[in-house]
Amino acid sequence: MREFGDLYVTLQERQEDERQPLRELGRRWRLLRRHLATRRALLELDAAQLHDIGLTAEQARAEATRPFWRLLR
């Protein structure tokens, strides 16, 4: 009977390994969406708020308008 228990554990581990790429894809998708949302929020900040976080309007605009594929790096 012990062999079946070991086999079950091995199969469970293999299934978990097969799900890893999907989990990584989901994690990266959530990260990209968060990056896009925070970049959009930069465009809504006024001069005082930008000063508080140490950015100029030009820096905020440059960061907010970066292409999405560069956000993944």
What amino acid is encoded at 11 in this protein? Answer: L
Q: Model's pTM, two decimal places?
A: 0.60
Q: In the prediction, which pLDDT does 19 show?
A: 73
Place of tokens 């896009």: 36
Condensed to tens digits (0 to 9), the pLDDT of residues 12-68 reads 677 666 678 888 899 989 998 998 999 999 999 999 999 999 999 999 999 999 887
Q: In the prediction, which pLDDT does 6 show?
A: 67
Q: Is residue 1's pLDDT more than 60?
A: no
Give me the DSSP letters along 36-60: HHHHHHHTT--HHHHHHHT--HHHH
Kindly list the domain boundaries of the chain, sorted by start residue. 2-70
